[in-house]
Amino acid sequence: MKRFACVAAVCLVATLFVGPSAEAQTAPAADQKWYVELNAGPTLGHKSDAFFGGEAGYGLTSDLFVIAEAGHMGNVGTSDLDDRAAIIANFLGATASTAFKVNYFVGGVRYNITLSPSVHPYVLGEVGLGSVTTEVEFSANGSVIDPGASGVQLGGDLSGTHNKTMLVFGFGVNVPFKDRYFADLGYRYGHILANTSNFETDTSIPTQRIVFGAGIRF
């Protein structure tokens, strides 16, 4: 997974250097204060999956935007979740498959770094809510096992949906085309904070996303 993150970083850096030498595009007009974007891509980490989402922003200045972002991440399960599930799996004589699935809504600011009309690097920071659903399935000999049949009741660490604080930091580049449209290539690191009011052994969840998006300014 670290290899994928490194490749993404190299692509972003390459875009920064190639962009200024490319054919110049029209810079955003002064009256184009809003933008909306749809994006998707892979998630990286202990377990990899995919995400999809959307982002919207309003320009306070030509470089500083207030933004909001929402979407869904597939499995961002951690080794800690695997370890907790393994305790029950060993008791049942089974194997366990685990997943954290996250619906997120975050907001913050994005700052554009002016290099040239043809490429617009940016950095961003956001804070908001991650709604985390824990899914654990036990199986033996190809058949799913109900732990309740063996008198095992799963706690909040292995089941249910919990709302937690989520922090996001990211960077990327926008490449404008056709006056009002742009393509986006970026990276987002998200940290979903532990909430021990859910259960005492709750731990934080790191997330990584490679962003491929397209949007419009208006």
Which pLDDT score is estimated for 28? 56
Residue 28: partners with Cβ closer than 8 Å, 6 or more residues away: 62, 176, 217
Q: Per-residue pLDDT for 208 more than 50?
A: yes
The three-class DSSP label of residue 86 is helix
Confidence bin at 202 (pLDDT 50/70/90): very high
Lowest mean pLDDT among 102-111, 146-155, 180-189: 146-155
| Residue, of 26 and 24, whose pLDDT is higher | 26
Q: What percent of the chain has pLDDT over 90?
A: 80
What pLDDT sits at residue 2? 46
pLDDT value at 78 more than 80: yes
- Quick one: tokens of 7? 């490749």
Q: What is the mean pLDDT of the chain?
A: 89
**Could you tell me which residues are beta bridge partners of residue 144?**
139
Of 8-12, 147-151, 210-214, give the range with the top mean pLDDT: 210-214
Residues 158-185 pLDDT 10s: 999 999 999 999 999 999 999 899 999 9
Reply yes or no on whether the pLDDT at 18 is more than 50: no
14 Cβ contact partners less than 8 Å away, ≥ 6 residues apart: none
Beta partners for 51? 41, 73
CA dihedral of residues 103, 9, 173, 17 (deg, nearest 10): 180
- pLDDT the model gives residue 179: 87
What is the predicted pLDDT for the residue at 14? 43
Q: With a cut of 60, say whether residue 20 has pLDDT above it.
A: no
Say which range, 71-85, 92-106, 107-121, 152-166, has the weakest mean pLDDT. 107-121
Could you give the CA distance from residue 133 to residue 15 in angstroms, rounded to a whole number?
Answer: 36
Full set of structural domains in the chain with CATH: 2-217 (2.40.160.20)
